[in-house]
Structures are given as structure tokens and as C-alpha cells.
Amino acid sequence: MPRFVRLLLSLLALLAWSAYVQGAPTYQALKFDGQFAPQMLNDLGQVAGIGQDGRPVIWNPDGSVMQLAGAVSQLTITGFNNQGTIVGNALLPGYNLQQPVMWRNGGAVERLPLQGLGGTTAGINNRGDIVGYMVGASDTGSGQVGFIQWGDGSAPQLFDNYAPLMVNDHGLVLGQVGGEYGLRSWQDGAFGASPYSDLFIRALNNEGRLAGWHDNYQAFSLIDRDGQRDIQDMWSGFAHAMNDPGSIVGETELSVHAMLWYQDRTYDLDHLWHDAQYSGWTLLNAWDINDSGAILASGIGSLGGSGTFLLSPVSEPQVVTLLLAGLLLLGARWLVQKRLPARLLSSSLLALFACTAYAQQAPAYRALKFDDQFAPKFLNDAGQVAGIGQDGKPMIWNPDGSLVHLAGVAGELTLTGFNNQGTIIGNISVPGSSQSQPVIWRNGGAMELLHFAGSNAYAAGLNNRGDIVGYSTGEAGSGPIGFIQWGDGSAQQLFNDYRPRLINDLGLVIGGRSDEFGARTWQDGVFGEYQLAYDFEVRALNSEGRLAGFQDNGNAFTLLMGDGQWQHQDLWSGYAYGINDAGSAVGEMADYRRAMLWHQGHPYVMDHVWNEEQYAGWFLQSAWDINASGQVLARAGSEWEARATFLLSPVPEPAQGVMLLAGLGLLGFARIRPGRRSA
């Protein structure tokens, strides 16, 4: 094989390897239907749950579902091991109290053979050891007893003042001593020296590592080493499950995001999966993880509805595909020895895999986090960001990272518009008065006051022609109530009963009349025939005339006038704040504060489309501006509830781009290098 080809093959292998050494795995998602409620996951990838009839079922990775036998009611599942044994608690015929039950290796229901009127199981390990608690037992003075039912069939370990709650595969137990706050360990007949009195423990692995949360709601991971507690705080919220490698899953406290702790880093799970059919779904809580890294998590859809997902770690499909393309190219060239069919095959494969790599429905984004120097407000098509500095004065951030400080503010400043020429408009409070004065920084220049007939004026919007719309809230008789100041310097358009709020580059205006509850358009001296219903709140307008906003019913929307009527599209449950000329809209989900993107007819949770190690624990809560290039301004929080603003910029996948170039290099080499001829 020629040396150059061998070098390219090495390059492809190196690129593939570098794609895999990422900080956390990516996941493919499977959403369970309503046939059963998933509860627990074992290391074989099986899922135990409760069917619609209230009985246990086991879902297998091939998609089959096994229904387990037994007359039970009010079932709760508390454990599921790698042998397919389920333990739980249920009412059985002939018993008045809840009973500890098991389905051994997928068999029929059995009551645990322990004395007592009733009881509960708390967990099971992979040896088959079961821990729990019985009541009404006649062989103890209190009538209560904790137990370990050993999987090898030996006599149960009974406790008269200890309730075991979890057990690992080495027989290490955590449980509750009566009258004691916190859990205490037990192993081989000996109790631990002291309880974990300040911790809520929810998981225990075979290393002896614990996971849960502090009483101040900080998720933690902990292990005792030589009598010293090695504790690691992970995120603000709750940890629910842990596997033997030490990966932990749970949720945040306030904003309700499913979280993953992986190799000493915190990750928002929404960063790690992106499936077009579930693009508008977001994960709220993860409660189980197996040793392969598969995760059970709950989520909600963009327009409501809930579901349970099985997330399975996978290799990057595009990287594998492109590597395979390179290998096939090399094989084709080697076997056919540079004849025309080989070149055609190479060209076809490259084109096919390049299209596959780039035919994603939503762009991937890189993120830039702004520091505290200023508060970003608007984004223009040149990639500039207008905001307010710590001194209360306007600033412009440029894509090269430089900041331009603009001068001249007399009172409290609000910004209301920013165009592609770098012009900023806003409003300041008049000193000594509650009135507002509209102001402008033209093309990044000095501040100017905007003047028009009326009092207590407000500049509301600006387009790329320099046209400015606004209105007055002054008393009746003080002058016209609305205005358009044209960017070409021609006479102002004044209205005595109309308040313009938005204007696009074609002069289409959205505003409202004082005697109407809904918005109405105006253009070229003519009011629109169709007023919007009162429950449509319009927040953005693009050059096509498409509106974006939200309704009182809680749905974000876009609207476009066509064939004499408004064409309506629901986007997601929540709010839309910005739209670009391509029709991509941004906003937020209502119930759980997720930044949302509408792109080419689909809603996307924005955390799905960006994933950077340095921001692994951050999640986007709201997006309010998007420019023609698809750049987005969004607000975010971290696992420690910090706040920041991000500029998200769409980029091609770097591994795909490099591999495509490598493939093109191979093709070029195959075309131009002369073949060796036999003597």
C-alpha cells in the first residue's frame, strides 16, 4: 500500500480515536409507550416496571415484554437484579397488610418466607440477598424486625432495632437504627462506628461509595477511606442512583434538569443526546443507571405530555460512518488499482457520506459566555451584541471580542432596538420626572435625543433601514400618540390612535389601537384588515411579515398572513421572543425554563444542540434573540444556580469537517498520482 495512503489511514484512525475520548458519552434514546411504567434497570439492559394491570413486567433489549404471574395489587417495585429477579411490596389474597414479595428469575410471585403480619422489601443485590423490614413478628419483643434474606438460602439475618435499606454485592448494608438520625452501615456482623447523620443516602455501589444529597440540597458522592470521609459535591439538587464505575444520576433542585456525574464532571443530560424525533423533549429527572451507563429518565414534550426514556451510550455515528468511508475508499483503490470504477466509487462514497454528515435537522452550536462587564440585550446580523455596561451606559461587543463604550446617559437606560448598522435606540428617564425620553446612538456615535410631538415618549423598535417606531403615553390632547421616524429623513408618520411597537425592513408595522385589544398591522398608509385576537402577544416580526409570540393558552406561535387569513403554527408550550428572516424562532418552555429553538418546522430544546466540556454543567433557560446567521442570545444557569448570558453560534461538526477533508485528500491522491506498473 502506498506510503501516502498509509499516512492518511493513520490520520483517519487518529481522528476517530480523538472523537471517542470525549468527556462523557453521547446517548441514543428510546421512549417507552404507555404499556407499562418503567421502574428499574439491570446491567443486562432489562427494565422492570408495572403494567397497566398493576402487575410486574420485564422489558428486554430486543423490545419484547414479559408479563410476570401472580395475583397482586398495589404493587411497588424496590429492586431488580441481573438474574431478572424483582422484589417489591404488594397486597396478596388472604392478607390485610402489605407483604414482601419477589419474582425469582422472572418466575411467579412468592411471599418472602419471613414471620410477621406484613412487611416491606427495600432492595436486592446480584447475589440475591434481599433487605427489608417486617412488622408483627412474634419472635421479637417489639414485634418489629429488620432482615437480610440471604440469596444462598442460609438463615436470615434478623435485627430487632435496625431496618436495612440497601445492600451491595459484598454484603455491605445501609440502614436505619431506631431512634437514630441518619443511616448506619452493617457488614459481617458489625455496625459502622457512626451514622451518616447529615446526609440523605439513596445509592450504594460495590466500591462502597454512597450517593445522595445534603440537607441543604446539594447532591454528593462519598466514600470512607481509612475512617476519613472523602466527599464530592456535584450539583444543586438530588442524586438518585449510581453504578459501579461511579457514575451518578439525579436532578437539579429548582429548575428540574436530569443530571449525570461522569468521571468527576457534572453534565446536564440534555447536552448528551439529540434525536430528531424527540427534538422538543427535555429530561427532568434520571433515577437509575447500570454498569454500561444506560439510564432511565423522565421527560416532557414541547407541547406537553410526559414520557420515560431509556438512554443508551453509543459511539458517534457520523465519525464511525466517515471512518468507514475512508476505509472503503482505501479498499476500493487498492483492489481496483486506480481504474475509473474505483474513482467513481470513491467520489460516490465521499458525496454520500458528506451528505449524511451534514444532513442534520438543526445546527450544532459553540458557546461563548459573557462575563459581568455588561448585560447583553440585542444581536444584529453582523454578530455584534448591544448591551448595558456596569456603569449603566450602552456598549457594543464585536465578534473579535472588543467592546465599544458609548457615551451619554441622563437617567435609567433601557435598550429597545439594535440594527445592522450598529445603531442603538432606547429610553432614558427624565431627571426629576417620571417621564421617558427616547434616545439613539446612530451607527455607534454619540447619544441623540429623539423628538416628536407628544409627551412621555417611548422608542419601541428599529429596522435595518433606520426606521424607528414608538409612541407617547401622555395625556389626551398632548399630541399624536404614535410615530414612525423614517431612516431616510423624510417627515415623520404620526398617529393619533395607534401605537407602533415593531417594524420590519419593508416598513410593515405591528401596533395596537387604544380601542382594540389585539394587534393590527400598518403599511404604506393602510391598516391591516384583520386584527389579531386579544390573546395573541406579538414579540417579534421578520421581513417576510411572520410574527412570533405567545398566547394566553400557553403556546408559543408564529403567524403569517396568507390568502386573506392568518396562518397559525404552534411551536412549543411557552413563549417565543425572537425570529429571524429564515423563520427560525427562539424563546423558552413555560413550565421548566428551557431555551427553545424552532428550526425548519421542528422544535428543539437548545441544550440538545450544544455540548462543550467547559460548560458541561450549564443549561439554557431562555433565548430571546436570533440573527440571520442563526446566532442566538440565551440565558443560562449552572449546577450551582449561577447565571450567565451565552452567545451560541452555529458551526459544522469539527470531526466531520476534518474527516471530509481527509476523504477529499484521498480522492485527490487517487486521481492524480500515477499508478505503479509491473515491469
H or E element: which one contains 221? strand 218-225
CA-to-CA distance for 73 and 66, rounded, in angstroms? Answer: 18
Q: In sequence order, what are the beta bridge partners of 631?
A: none
Cβ atoms of residues 289 and 247 within 8 Å: yes
DSSP label of 63? S
* CB-count burial class (<10 Å; 0-12, 13-18, 19+) for 494: middle
CA angle 220, 224, 230 (to 5 degrees): 50
pLDDT at position 502 = 98
| DSSP type of residue 315 | -
Give the cell for residue 477: 390632547
**Residue 436: which of 412, 418, 452 has the closest Cα?**
412
Which segments within 315-418 are labelled E, that is strand? Answer: 364-369, 374-379, 385-389, 394-397, 403-405, 413-418
**How many C-beta neighbours within 10 Å does residue 112 have?**
18
CA nearest to 297, candidates 324, 257, 255, 242: 257
Handedness of CA 251, 254, 255, 256 (dihedral sign): positive
Q: What is the DSSP string of 532-563?
A: PPTTEEEEEE-TT--EEEEETTSEEEEEEEET
Q: Give whole-number Cα distances, 213 to 12, 56, 61, 639, 641, in Å.
A: 44, 30, 32, 14, 16
Q: Which residues of the chain have pLDDT under 70?
A: 1-23, 137-143, 315-361, 432-433, 453-455, 474-479, 641, 652-679
Q: What is the pLDDT of residue 678?
A: 41
What's residue 579's pLDDT? 98
Name the one residue in this structure whose C-alpha cell is 431555551: 595
pLDDT given for residue 514 in this prediction: 84
Cα angle 115, 117, 118; round to 5: 95
10 Å Cβ neighbour count for 650?
Answer: 17
pLDDT at 254: 79
Name the pTM for this structure: 0.85
